[in-house]
């Protein structure tokens, strides 16, 4: 189910089987305003309303890297907001792009201080299996 979208860049979806939000990225050339609206407003509101405990970032098809402003926003706003909404796990499906993966690794280091556990999974099926094994 589609929760929000930034056309050509990001789809924020709800996966009912895993009761998780899934960000499906195609391009990281997103503005802070687009990110806030799609993820921190619409995505978090949906997550709170449905008791979501995990957020999956699917970067398998993503290209590029986040701008420094978006990186900073993710580090300072995104993860504290996730934690306040009850998100316990941030799951990543990495890209085939080394540059994109470096972007993921840089901000994922900020999860721990917010009390969120990072879990790398090969795909959405793996994420759902992991969540079922860790109720």
CATH superfamily of 2-133: STAS domain (3.30.750.24)
* Domains of the chain by residue range: 2-133
**pLDDT (0 to 100) of residue 27:** 93
Joined tokens for residue 38: 């799609």
Other residues' Cβ atoms within 10 Å of the Cβ of residue 120: 14
Q: Report which secondary-structure segment, H or E, holds 117.
A: strand 117-120
d(CA 37, CA 18): 23
- Whether this model's pTM surpasses 0.75: yes
- pLDDT-derived band at 48 (thresholds 50, 70, 90) equals very high
Conformation bin of residue 8: beta by default, left when phi > 0, alpha when psi is -120 to 50: left
- pLDDT-derived band at 32 (thresholds 50, 70, 90) equals very high
Which residues are CB-contacts of 17 (< 8 A; sequence separation ≥ 6)? 128
Between these two residues, 88 and 118, which has the higher pLDDT value? 88
Burial of 79 (0-12, 13-18, 19+ CB in 10 A): buried
């Amino acid at each position: 189910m589609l929760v929000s979208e930034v056309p050509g860049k990001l789809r924020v979806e709800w996966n009912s089987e895993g009761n998780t939000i899934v960000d499906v990225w195609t391009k990281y050339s997103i503005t802070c305003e687009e990110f806030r609206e799609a993820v921190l407003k619409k995505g978090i509101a949906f997550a709170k309303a449905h008791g979501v405990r995990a957020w999956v970032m699917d970067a398998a098809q993503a290209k590029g890297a986040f701008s420094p402003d978006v990186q900073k926003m993710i580090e300072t706003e995104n993860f504290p907001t996730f934690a306040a909404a009850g998100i316990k796990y941030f799951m990543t499906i990495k890209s085939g792009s080394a540059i994109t993966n470096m972007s993921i690794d840089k901000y994922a280091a900020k999860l721990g201080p917010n009390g969120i556990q990072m879990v790398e999974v090969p795909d959405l099926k793996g994420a759902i299996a992991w969540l079922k094994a860790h109720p």
